[in-house]
Chain A
Amino acid sequence: MKPMPKGIVSKLRQKSPWVMHVPCGGCNGCDIEVVAALTPLYDLERFGTLQKGSPRHADILAVTGPVTVQVKERLRRVYALVPSPKIVMAIGSCAISGEVFADGYAFAGPLDQIIPVDIYVPGCPPRPEAIIHGVAQALTKL
């Protein structure tokens, strides 16, 4: 099969960025807000965003929570499975710095020390609107 021109692919990607949500051991606050952003009230899906269960289908990895020791290697594997160009969103203050969990024994370092991060969305938890704003910012990078 002939590969499609690059401009068309990136344009199509911007029209339908598929998201995979990876919770990495937080308090579940950010996870709830990510799911809320996909529900009909905020409706991230009207921009073509679809939540996917497999990293092979995803363009955007939405990572929440501080990365724990248990999930660290699995997160690396999930990241490797995402076809490039890939975007990693660090959602919530925990993913950015560790926040309250920063001194805990199970804390394996902020997200950007494990996989490269493209966009940071601070908040504890960030509002669904803030997540939508973050996705819109991230799409300019695709």
Chain B
Amino acid sequence: MNTQTIIESIRGLISPKTLPYPRQPSPPPEGFRGKPEFDAQKCVGCGACAQTCPMGAISITDGLARSVRVWYGKCSFCGRCQDVCPEEAVRLTSAYELAVFDKNKASADIEIEFESCSSCGKKFFPAPQLERSFERMKQILEKRNISHEELRLLDGVCPLCRQRPEEFSKRKLFLLNFG
């Protein structure tokens, strides 16, 4: 036994090395990737996280609203979703106590509202994503003297309604003005 081992064992007798975990919380080290969580206020429902997830732990189902769900039972906590999210809505927190009795309960869900088609009323596109794209086009619209409402009338129509002849002529007129 060398001297260092003896010193270490004496030190261990004076101050115990065991972590007092269940009585006191044990914070994980810096940069630890815990359970991913969605921010429902920031998420636009684009689905980039579901597309990039190597495990397929993030699923997107479209019903009356778009529901984005991450199942921790399939998650590998790699953080790809956090890297790829354009709105920084996904964040890997430092929470790690995920033990559950029902495996389907180990998940985080958020719901994104759909935009309704202005002519047929069908829900066709996540509303926050449409809003975000308008925001990005703001400068170009101002340059061309096109009002926000004008574009909104054209873009708030579902793909099926866009193929109708009356819509088509309206669109052509807009493009002529634009170009």
Binding site for B on A (CB under 8 A): 40-43, 46, 90, 93, 96-100, 102, 112, 117-124, 126-127, 129-130, 132-134, 136-138, 141
Contacts and interface: CB of A to CB of B under 8 A. Distances in A.
B89 interface: no
B110 to A, nearest CB: 19
Contact of B99 (A43, A98, A137): A137
A93 B75 contact: yes
Contacts of B17: 40-41
Nearest to B101: A119
A93 B96 contact: no
Contacts of A120: 73, 99-103, 106
Interface of B: 17-19, 21-22, 26, 28, 35, 54-55, 71-77, 96-103, 106
Nearest to B106: A122
Contact of A93 (B21, B26, B76): B76
Given A96-B103, A120-B73, A123-B77, A41 B18 contact: yes
Contacts of B96: 123, 126-127, 129-130
A63 B83 CA distance: 32
Nearest to B98: A122
28 contacts: A40-B17, A40-B18, A41-B17, A41-B18, A90-B103, A93-B73, A96-B103, A99-B74, A100-B54, A100-B76, A102-B74, A118-B101, A119-B99, A119-B100, A120-B73, A122-B75, A123-B98, A124-B75, A124-B76, A124-B77, A130-B96, A130-B97, A130-B99, A132-B21, A133-B22, A133-B99, A134-B99, A136-B22
Contact of B21 (A102, A124, A129): A129
Residue of B17, B21, B54, B73 with highest tally of chain A CB at under 10 A: B73
Contacts of B100: 119-120, 122
A96 B98 CA distance: 12
Given A120-B106, A127-B28, A137 B98 contact: no
B98 A129 contact: no
